[in-house]
Amino acid sequence: MTGGRALVSVRNVSKRFGATRALSDVSVDFHAGRVHGLVGENGAGKSTLGRVLLGIHAPDQGRLILDGSPIKLSGPDEAASHGCVGVAQELSLLPALGVVDNIVLGTEECIGPLVSDRGNRQRVETLVAQHGLHIPLDKKVGSLSVADQQKVEILRALGRQSRLVVFDEPTARLASHEAVELCRTVRELADRGVAVVYVSHFLNEVLSVADTVTVMRDGRVVRTAPAADETYESLVEGMTGRSIGDAYPPKPPTPPQDAPVVVRVNGLGRIGEFSDVSFSIKKGEILGLGGLVGAGRSEVAHAVYGATRASTGTVEISGSRLSGTVEDGLSKGISLIPESRRDQGLVVGLSVRDNTTLPHLRRFMGRFGIRVKQEEAAAGQAIQEAGVRAEGLSEPVGTLSGGNQQKVLFARAMLGQPRLFIADEPTRGVDVGSKRAIYDVIGQLAQSGCAVLLVSSELEDLVEMSHRVLVMRSGQIVAEFAGEELTEANILNAAFDTEHHGNSPSASGSQQD
């Protein structure tokens, strides 16, 4: 299958981000004229590998070999000078500039010191004609649809005599007919002799477009094989199949049928994000919410919490209806651990104490302002319960490790003695040791009678921690699994738009072989 020497070889590459091992000892060959698919769960390292190829991340260990000779890439510009370019998941276009200007950006044709508009336009027109990617050249990029913007990005990559193009989730935001068109473009690229690296969540798409597929898991390569030898099921198995061991605490006991319902969500919807979401969580129950990134899980979590206003539907806590503000949610006993702890959770410049007590300050008010001693005692106890390892309460939260930062958010939540605890991706970017501590805290919260809504992209988390799992796709709940049916494969099948299977997700329990 391998047509001679690889264009780019990755040899024994490892990469760490803080305490997280993003890549461990990864070796893959990428060949000219082939589409090479990279698949894996969120956090498996596929995007990181793509970024190593593009010079965005420098490997801690290992080598990159281009055309048989080892190279070091100091940055994306150097990678580009070797012909390695990327089409990013988040587009890197300048919306206020025109299509032509965006495509030639950085490689403008000039006459002396002046940019030659005519020369650039001709170049772009040739490019468009060559590849059949038609877009209105006179428009500003900001006014184009996402699909057209993606084409601009692709044309930019094509315009630089690329030899290797990395696509990172190129179809995540495209409609299905646009995705089909994109796949055709990708094939054409390969037929012209370009090495294409294709990172995607959509397994069927990868199977149809790729010649070779590398399956990744936990930063390691599981296997690299011809796409023809893989099936949807074999990829899922490769991505998820692993020994679980004692990474997880035992599940807290399933609450009895007649346990009181803590939260009831009825017909919740928000225009453009999700619709008709209904569920309830009992006292002591952990409800998992699964689905792909962008399926609307975080949006639902935020609307339940009151951080965004739902356009339809209601949320009730122990029978009383929420007004849809954070203050109301907090006062009725909801705590949220947001998805991005640095952007949405912590104020990194402030101390551990200030971050822990931030929403609960009212409780410590005395006649002369905040009663600091009382506050510190409460914060100290909370961070101990959450297992935060910090030098002291006055340490700035920004100096803690990712896992400990996350635990500070747990301490904050526990200080509120929540009745409903919502955790959005609580273990993202957290090292293994801290993960276990976080699972323990979630288990304890449930055992103490709290209702838990666990949003996670990690299938294992959902299966091992939840009593019941709801799966979302395109803003709707499409499946519910509990008991025997609660398996990683079932969740994954329901989360992907499995044209391949063509049946209702709830019937997919029989698909493991």
CA dihedral 220, 224, 230, 235 (to 10 degrees): 10
- Binding residue (CB under 8 A) for other proteins from 96, 228, 358, 507: 358
Residue 396 as a binder of other proteins (CB under 8 A): the answer is: yes
Piece of the chain touching other proteins by CB under 8 A; list 81-89, 311-319, 362-370, 465-473: 362-370
Closest approach of other proteins to the CB of residue 332, in Å? 11
Residue 233 Cα distances to 203, 212, 230, angstroms? 10, 16, 8
CB closer to other proteins out of 104 and 330:
330
**Contacts with other proteins, 300-319, as mask; x by CB under 8 A:** -----x-x------------
Q: Which is nearer to other proteins, 283 or 332 (CB)?
A: 332
Q: Is 354 in the site for other proteins (CB under 8 A)?
A: yes
Residue 267 contacts other proteins per CB under 8 A: no
| DSSP labels, 1-24 | ---SS-SEEEEEEEEEETTEEEEE
| Type of residue found at 309 | R
Q: Which of 3, 142, 253, 349 binds other proteins (CB under 8 A)?
A: 349
Burial 91-118 (b: 16+ CB within 10 A, else e): eebeeeebbbbbbbeeeeeeeeeeeeee
Residue whose C-alpha is closest to residue 61's, from 112, 21, 101, 102: 21
C-beta pairs of 239-244 under 8 Å, 24+ apart in sequence: 239/39, 239/40, 239/41, 239/44, 239/215, 239/492, 240/41, 240/459, 240/460, 240/488, 240/489, 240/492, 242/217, 242/218, 242/460, 244/460, 244/464
Angle between helices 176-191 and 146-158 (to 10 degrees): 10
Q: How long is the chain? A: 513
Residue 127 touches other proteins, criterion: CB under 8 A: no
- The residue from 122, 126, 130, 399 that contacts other proteins (CB under 8 A) is 399
Window of 66-74, 200-208, 361-369, 451-459 that interacts with other proteins by CB under 8 A: 361-369
In the set 65, 97, 105, 350, which binds other proteins (CB under 8 A)?
Answer: 350
- Of positions 365, 377, 432, 507, contacts other proteins by CB under 8 A: 365
Min CB(424)–other proteins separation in Å: 10
The three-class DSSP label of residue 497 is coil
Residues 97 and 140: beta-carbon distance below 8 Å: yes
Among 129, 361, 432, 507, binds other proteins (CB under 8 A): 361
Angle between helices 117-131 and 146-158 (to 10 degrees): 100
CB neighbour list of residue 139: distance below 8 Å, 6 or more residues apart = 98, 99
Residue 423 within binding range of other proteins, rule CB under 8 A = no
| Site residues (CB under 8 A) for other proteins, limited to 366-395 | 368-370
Number of residues that bind other proteins (CB under 8 A): 29
Tell me if 344 contacts other proteins by CB under 8 A: yes
Choose between 63 and 371: whose C-beta lies nearer to other proteins: 371
Which of 86, 255, 345, 403: binder of other proteins (CB under 8 A)?
Answer: 345
Q: How far is the CB of 387 from other proteins (least distance, A)?
A: 21
494: three-class secondary structure by DSSP: helix
Q: Which of 90, 246, 343, 391 binds other proteins (CB under 8 A)?
A: 343
3-state DSSP: the chain helix, strand, coil percent, rounded to 5? Answer: 35, 25, 35
DSSP β-ladder status, 8-17 and 20-30: antiparallel
Query: Can you tell me the distance from the alpha carbon of 267 to that of 274, in angstroms, rounded to the nearest whole number?
Result: 10
Give the nearest distance from C-beta 426 to other proteins in angstroms.
15
Minimal distance, residue 210 CB to other proteins, in Å: 38
* Stretch binding other proteins (CB under 8 A), from 104-112, 311-319, 342-350, 381-389: 342-350
CB of 430 to other proteins, least distance (A): 18
- Which stretches of the chain bind other proteins, using CB under 8 A? 305, 307, 326-327, 329-330, 336, 338, 343-350, 354, 358-359, 361-362, 365, 368-370, 396, 398-399, 412
